[in-house]
Amino acid sequence: MIQFKLSPTTEIPAIDSIFLFGDEVPAKVLPFKKEEIAYLLNCRKQDAEALVVLNRYNKEGICTSIYVQNFDANLSPAESQEKLRRSAATIQERLSKAKIEHIAVSGEGIIPEEMAAFLEGLTLSNYRFDRYKAKKETLLSEVIVDNRFFKQDELDRSVRLWNRICQCRDWVNEPIMALNAEKFANILKEEGEKAGIKVTVFGQKQIESLKMGGLIAVNKGSVDEARFVILEYKPKRPLNTNPIALVGKGIMYDTGGLNIKPEDYMQEMKSDMAGAATMAATLLAAADNQLPIHIMAFLPMTDNRPSGNAYAADDIITMYDGTTVEVVNTDAEGRIILADAIAYANQFNPELIIDAATLTGAAVRAIGTYGIAAMQQNAENPMNLLRIVSNQVYERIAEFPFWKEYDELIKSEVADIKNCGIAQAGCITAGKFLAHFAKHPYIHLDIAGVAYYPKKESFYGVGASGFGIRLLYAFLQTYDIATQKN
């Protein structure tokens, strides 16, 4: 974790520093020498986005470096902010290689939003899942920020959000042998209590007596018990009358079950609880920063494994809401546990239900790893708000159609519906399956393409990305009940 300190420019000590050079001559802020400015301007002429490193040696021969990041101010606000997040990730890599732990950040010709984006990129790229490694990379521990850009409180609020993103990544990166449903539920209970919110954990017995048939069926093959976690953050004077329900897929590990995943398709499936981790982190960040919105999270958790007792294709499950489901493929398990969670959430009369789930390979095939596949039912206005916000924070969503014809594809001969359709439009039929259970305005987010990057992806890093938390947090921050009413 980086410790941030605000400091007046004049006090930014003579340590290694980063300077963001927007559209003015940087002489004003840091004491650049004449030759340095000439050199900088020349570099800038050749490449408007050049990263220029100025090295200075003192009498003792000790070198301090100034990383000057030029950037082109002619982009849209969202694009220039994203560019700065990405530049920060590049710089972080250089700093790490140079074993630099302390740095000062300043700039000229940039606005606070741009500085915030840069610090966001720096913080999020400074994360490593290294607790199992003997040799750890050097990371930034302290960053001194020019106090012209923020008040302490503004910076603190951002830092709390970034910390939750890193915490989400930790949860997702832990393998199943270290983090099963029971342990994850315990961690959330502890974290929730620290944050001062209400946490309810249903154990196996309660899940059974509630007749959450979907969660019970998927859990049958597991040696571990299932859990169902409910988080509730209710501020004193919420803007919304009814809660927003966040539902997250908590498959702690997805082997596919009896329809076991072949070859290397099983790899990375520790990340199949990223939806639950994302929703928990989002709610906790909202609570940390006291957003004026009443939010609940519903998180069904189990792993999906084959065993002598595992649920099988052809099984017919009676779900929490009484719907019967024909199992066609045990690897389409996420929708089965999520359906019970959505149905359970209905009773709180949420004004909006949003789920996040690493639900389908089909979503990845459709839009790749650049964004989230989104669908909605009776939630056109919230979806429009979500789209606007998603472009702003650059965690983008692509809306897929929810035509009624897709409903035909999940009709079953032997039950009310079945858990998968045909090969085509796989992420839509998965969404349609879930929408069957939602009795309130509903948005489905398939995060399969973005939750986990096997190779380093800029400030998202390698492994769990935390993608979607900034999006949902920004959505909650701008959420206004007016968007709900037509």
Q: Would you tell me which residues interact with ligand BES (CB under 6 A)?
A: 254, 272, 329, 331-334, 358-362, 364, 420, 426, 448
Residue nearest to ligand BES (CB): 361
Residue 81 interacts with, from ligand BES, Zn ion, none (CB under 5-8 Å by kind): none
- Smallest gap, in angstroms, from Cβ of residue 165 to ligand BES? 19
- Smallest gap, in angstroms, from Cβ of residue 269 to Zn ion? 7
Report phi then psi at 176, rounded to 5: -60, -35
Long-range contacts from 73-77, C-beta under 8 angstroms, 24+ separation: 73/22, 73/23, 73/109, 73/110, 77/113, 77/392
Judged by the rule CB under 5 A, the positions of this chain that interact with Zn ion are 251, 254, 272, 331, 333-334
Question: Kindly report the CA angle at 273 between 270 and 277, in degrees rounded to 5?
Answer: 125
Q: Judged by CB, which is closer to ligand BES: 36, or 333? A: 333
What is the CB-side half-sphere exposure of residue 348 using CA atoms within 13 A? 24
In angstroms, the CA 203 to CA 188 distance is 14
- Smallest gap, in angstroms, from Cβ of residue 314 to ligand BES? 15
Q: Which residues pair with 61 in a beta bridge?
A: none
- Smallest gap, in angstroms, from Cβ of residue 204 to Zn ion? 21
- Smallest gap, in angstroms, from Cβ of residue 236 to ligand BES? 39
Residue 362 interacts with, from ligand BES, Zn ion, none (CB under 5-8 Å by kind): ligand BES
Q: Judged by CB, which is closer to ligand BES: 122, or 425? A: 425
Residue 420 interacts with, from ligand BES, Zn ion, none (CB under 5-8 Å by kind): ligand BES
Residue type at 42 in one-letter notation: N
Long-range contacts from 284-287, C-beta under 8 angstroms, 24+ separation: 284/164, 284/167, 284/191, 284/192, 284/195, 284/197, 284/231, 284/233, 285/160, 285/161, 285/164, 285/165, 285/469, 285/473, 286/233, 286/473, 286/476, 287/195, 287/196, 287/197, 287/233
- Smallest gap, in angstroms, from Cβ of residue 248 to ligand BES? 13
Q: Which residues contact 72 (CB under 8 A, 6 or more apart)?
A: 48, 49, 80, 83
> Where in the sequence numbering do the catalytic residues fall?
261, 335
Residue in the structure block whose two tokens are 């089965």: 336
CA 176 → CA 46, 124, 397, 453, distances in Å? 50, 24, 29, 18
Q: First-to-last CA distance in the chain?
A: 44
Provide the strand spans (E) within 194-341. 198-202, 227-233, 244-248, 250-254, 295-304, 316-318, 324-326
In angstroms, the CA 226 to CA 205 distance is 9
Residue 203 interacts with, from ligand BES, Zn ion, none (CB under 5-8 Å by kind): none
Q: Judged by CB, which is closer to Zn ion: 199, or 252? A: 252
CB atoms within 10 A of CB 439: 15
Residue 448 interacts with, from Zn ion, ligand BES, none (CB under 5-8 Å by kind): ligand BES
Residue 389 interacts with, from ligand BES, Zn ion, none (CB under 5-8 Å by kind): none
Q: Judged by CB, which is closer to Zn ion: 191, or 303? A: 303
Q: Judged by CB, which is closer to ligand BES: 145, or 428? A: 428
CB atoms within 10 A of CB 420: 19
In angstroms, the CA 49 to CA 22 distance is 10
Asked if residue 450 lies in contact with residue 467, where contact means CB atoms within 8 angstroms, the answer is: yes
Residue 360 interacts with, from ligand BES, Zn ion, none (CB under 5-8 Å by kind): ligand BES
- Smallest gap, in angstroms, from Cβ of residue 29 to ligand BES? 45
In angstroms, the CA 378 to CA 432 distance is 13
- Smallest gap, in angstroms, from Cβ of residue 252 to Zn ion? 10
Q: Judged by CB, which is closer to ligand BES: 426, or 431? A: 426
Helix (H), strand (E) at residue 64:
strand 63-70
Q: Judged by CB, which is closer to ligand BES: 322, or 454? A: 454
Q: Judged by CB, which is closer to Zn ion: 16, or 333? A: 333
Residue 361 interacts with, from ligand BES, Zn ion, none (CB under 5-8 Å by kind): ligand BES
